Amino acid sequence: MFKTFIPSKILQPYVAFFYTIKCEKINYDQIISEYALPSGFGHMGFHYRGSFYVLQKNKKQDLARFYGVGQQTHQYYINSDSELVDFYGVTFHPTAMWHLFGLDMPSITDKAFASTALFSTNIEKFTKQFNEDQEPALKIKLIENLLLDEILSVQPQLNVIDTAIQKINETYGCGSIAALIDELGISARYFQKNFKKMVGITPTTYKRIVRFNCMFSQLKIDAPIDCKGLSAFYNYYDFPHFTKDFKRYCGSCPSAFHIEKFHFLREVVASKALMD
């Protein structure tokens, strides 16, 4: 089960949405295992019951009970050996973790880290309250209050990189980086340097991930993938470039990929469609 929650207005420039994941081992063949794509967002997770670990390129990374992760650039699996996982998460806009916590974003690309040291508030008090048996919405509220305290402490300000990200998203990742730099009236060197510092990946990589996610959200669970139509609509140079991106982010060619196999991925795609 995947459910999203809209953040309060003051958090919306930094938080895309909160979410809960609840899954039981009984619903899977062996272990809990869900496929995930790079999304262009940063994430923070809070395990309530059970725990996930990440499997990427056959390398296992255990996740702390409370953890953060920067940009992901390859597909990965979220796995668990637990009988039940009850999990709460934050999906951050690309620069939010830099704005709120001053993190070195390139150093956490494709990496997870324990997040408890990030917060200026009493994390022990938060943990005690989070451990209490209560409705999911109340746990989300606890996490939201944790971030509100951080915003009030740091008082971040959006800048030209945030504007650039908005424009990349508005064009579904199909626009030109050179044209964007000209529109913003800044130097290419300044843009490239500060984008990577604040997001953790280059503008070109981010644009590529945004484009693929926009394309992927158009896939139908019960219909064949219209590869040529999608590759043309999303401004791929040619069909081989489309196939290359598909293999990069999905691990297989379009004809061999079956979205219906992945519970979590289906629900994420459906939720994003509703939010859009």
The domain 2-154 is placed in CATH, from the list 3.90.245.10, 2.60.120.10, 3.40.50.2300, 3.40.720.10, at 2.60.120.10
Give the dihedral sign, CA 180/189/160/117.
positive
Order across the sheet with 53-56: list the strands: 32-36, 76-80, 53-56, 59-62
Indicate whether 210 pLDDT > 90. yes
Between residues 32 and 222, the one the model is more confident about: 32
Least confident of 141-145, 186-190, 246-250: 246-250
Distance, in Å, from the CA atom of 220 to the CA atom of 66, rounded to the nearest integer, reads: 34
Fold of 160-275: Arc Repressor Mutant, subunit A (1.10.10)
Mean pLDDT of the chain: 90
Domain ranges in the chain? 2-154, 160-275
User: Residue 13's pLDDT is what?
Assistant: 97
Integer Cα distance of 147 and 40 in angstroms: 20
Q: pLDDT category, 269, cuts 50, 70, 90?
A: low
pLDDT at 274 (0 to 100)? 43
Q: pLDDT over 90 for what percent of the chain? A: 68
Q: What is the pLDDT of residues 9-50, one digit of tens each?
A: 999 999 999 999 999 999 988 899 988 889 999 999 999 999
pLDDT band at 273 (very low <50, low <70, confident <90, very high): very low
**Confidence bin at 244 (pLDDT 50/70/90):** confident
84 pLDDT tier (thresholds 50, 70, 90): very high
pLDDT recorded at residue 221: 65
Cα separation, 31 vs 16, whole angstroms? 30
More confident site: 140 or 227: 140
Owner of token pair 């019951």: 49
Tens-place pLDDT, residues 93-103: 999 999 999 99
User: Region 107-125: what's the mean pLDDT?
Assistant: 92
Element housing 196 (H / E): helix 188-199
Quote the percentage of the chain above a pLDDT of 70: 91
